[in-house]
Structure 1
């Protein structure tokens, strides 16, 4: 049952972890939730109805990419992003700040906003906090993110503080620009690098703005997992209990499990789709690289217990052949498997929290990964089973 307002309800807690529902006019988001990334109005290698059938309640679109191509005004003229990409359910758009940092050929940040060159054609653009909200409004997204400045870690405390304070000022400008939009939400973004006092100050100042949701940004940008988890633990007590919490750009299944344990409600990451396009799969047995020769005559499916056709039907040997032959079907099937696994992971976490057995469930998940790793080492003589993936969207 949907509503004409944006609401969030925590239905059960288990330690710091919680499960609940975000309700809005376009649908209900069950939390903890993983949002497949549809950077340029498409979840790569997937049909929209497949994404929904796997259990996704919301997808993510990107302001930076969509403003450059095909253009926010054009999307608005064509009926908005939901109609444009045939996804009638909730859409979250990020502000474009991270992509400006990581993709733009040249960029200049000052109080007014950020001036940058497109990574596509070198054209010059300016994005202020107000323009970011305007673009997201033209796209018609349901959850919109403030424009922030994201710095790579490690960085100096001085650089982290400068970017955090600028992001706070931009958050207030975004809040004013967003105004009151019934049924929609704007989220603020906690920044502060790996400095606890800065993270706490950022969380407190944003909470005082009484926004509809809060994200933790500036993590999963090169820091070790223990640093990321420490920052989550640092800010969690200062984030409103009755508002959704979103850890941006995270991450691996283990990152997600540990963040859920610490009270995070929402996640997004390109990892499952990007990995699928480059021969890697995620399963309850852990991660596998289908390029590896050991799969050439392996007739087992990826996971016979999965409900996903890509996971329980096609043999590892066939998938290995597709990957080694650079066949498009291989990219599609592995992406399908990966998104299915991520949604099954989230559903299991929600169920475990509701039943008050999260710690036992996490133990079972990690034992499955560990067993898969042991079996893999036995089969391939301790050969590493991971490959580097290019850092495109």
Structure 2
């Protein structure tokens, strides 16, 4: 993997760059649609490519390990071929899902024993077998195995967890180096900064992760319930330390405003289930604020969903029609909303990139944050 930093905004830390892998170029900043179980929910791959057009999507190690199982993916020739996606894929390590199974898992130095949410069967994730699982999945960018701490989190627990995450990282790096890729293209390993919402721990973790000299670095353990101001403070601490010549990935973030504010702090890569999950619940994001399409006020509004939108659904369907689809629980409504929201998120990061390259990102970002912080 190669990363080229093209320009930094003069009034912020926002960056425009370019990541190149064996599956193509990723222009940053970028938002990665979440394809948890080898599918971005409700979207055909053709729509994903032609309308939303992301350079990279995300898959989930925990879910793919349980279903369809990595043996099936290996027989298919990897996740790219299994789901017919010829662009980049990133997989998380499963650490966040293990965190979310707080009543179904036991964490030890060796790894994590957890109970499947599907059938109650027991499984073990270790740094070593998570590397093997992600080799079999075949993503272009894979994550080191970490522990994602909850919020709020006791300082001593956060410190112990952070140091264990660092030890796990060393095991991941060693095992990754001992296992070749399976499908004829390279894979890249990103370590993950932890440390909860404690600045001194975040600094320690960022320094340790930077010392490992990986090709890219991730920030985890945020967007887990902490106030946005805490998220931004931790991101700022970390981006001051992580190397400038490597891409920075903030995991699981977030709202459109969160994304713009973190771009301003020097983040290059994002993922979040919010655009798809909120779409299925009737919330549409736009440049002028969010719309709850289920509200009665849209019942006889025959204007387009978003006349500034980039996807075909934005001008092909009216607000009244999409509200009707939600009212009668027709799955098409959720599909339309999903395509719209993902299209908006990709438009947002690409507009951010344009303004970084033009040198006026800060002013544009401040204007957009004010506009988007509304309920229409």
Question: What TM-score comes out, normalization by structure 2 length?
Answer: 0.96
> Residue 109 of structure 2 aligns with which residue?
111
Return the alpha-carbon distance in structure 1 between the equivalents of residues 99 and 207 of structure 2. Answer: 25
Quick one: which of 40, 62, 66 aligns to 1:43? 40
Find the aligned partners of 1:155 and 1:99 in 2 and give their Cα distance. 17
Q: Contact 1:104 / 1:116 at 8 angstroms: preserved in 2?
A: no
CA deviations 1:53-109 (Å, max 9, x no partner) are: 223000000000000011012210121100001111110000001101114651010
State whether residues 34 and 272 of structure 2, in contact with CA within 8 Å, keep that contact through their aligned partners in structure 1. yes
Name the CA distance, whole Å, in 2 between partners of 1:201 and 1:49. Answer: 44
Alignment-derived partner of residue 308 in structure 2:
305
1:105, 1:118 within 8 Å by CA — same for their partners in 2?
Answer: no
| Residue 9 (structure 1) aligned with residue 36 (structure 2) | no
State whether residues 17 and 264 of structure 1, in contact with CA within 8 Å, keep that contact through their aligned partners in structure 2: yes
Could you list the runs of 5+ residues in structure 1 that have no partner in the other structure?
1-5, 377-393
SS of structure 2 residue aligned to 1:10: strand
Q: Which has the higher contact order (CA 8 A, sep 6+)?
A: 2
Aligned to 1:249: 252
User: Match of 1:150?
Assistant: 148
Separation in 2, partners of 1:111, 1:122: 23
Please give the secondary structure, in 1, of the residue aligned with 2:146: coil
Number of the residue aligned with 1:383: none
Contact between 1:97 and 1:150, CA under 8 Å: does it hold in 2? Answer: yes
Look up the match of 1:192.
Answer: 195
Where does residue 328 of structure 1 map in the other structure?
331
Of residues 205-214 and 261-270 in structure 1, the stretch that sits farther from structure 2 once superposed is 205-214
Q: Which secondary structure state, in structure 2, belongs to the residue aligned with residue 170 of structure 1?
A: helix
> What is the number of residues matched between the two proteins?
368
2:213 corresponding residue in structure 1: 210
Asked if the contact 2:310–2:344 (Cα under 8 Å) also holds between the matched residues in 1, the reply is no
- Alignment deviations for residues 170-211 of structure 1 (CA, whole Å, 9 cap, x no partner): 111111111176732100000000011111111111111111
Runs of at least 4 residues off by over 4 Å: none
Q: CA deviation at 1:311?
A: 1.2
Residue 367 of structure 1: how far off its partner (Å): 3.8
Residue of structure 2 in register with 1:87 after alignment: 85
Moved more, 101-110 or 130-139: 101-110
Asked whether the 8 Å contact 1:105–1:122 carries over to 2, the reply is no
Which residues of 2 match residues 278-289 of structure 1 at below 5 A? Answer: 278-289=281-292
Could you state the TM-score of these two structures normalised by the residue count of structure 1?
0.92
- TM-superposed deviation, 1:365: 1.4
The CA deviation at 1:319 is 0.5
Determine the C-alpha separation between the residues in 2 that align with 1:145 and 1:207.
Answer: 15
Would the aligned equivalents of 1:185 and 1:212 in 2 still touch at CA under 8 Å? yes
In structure 2, C-alpha distance between the alignment counterparts of 1:293 and 1:343, rounded to whole Å: 29
Equivalent of residue 234 in structure 1, options 204, 213, 237: 237
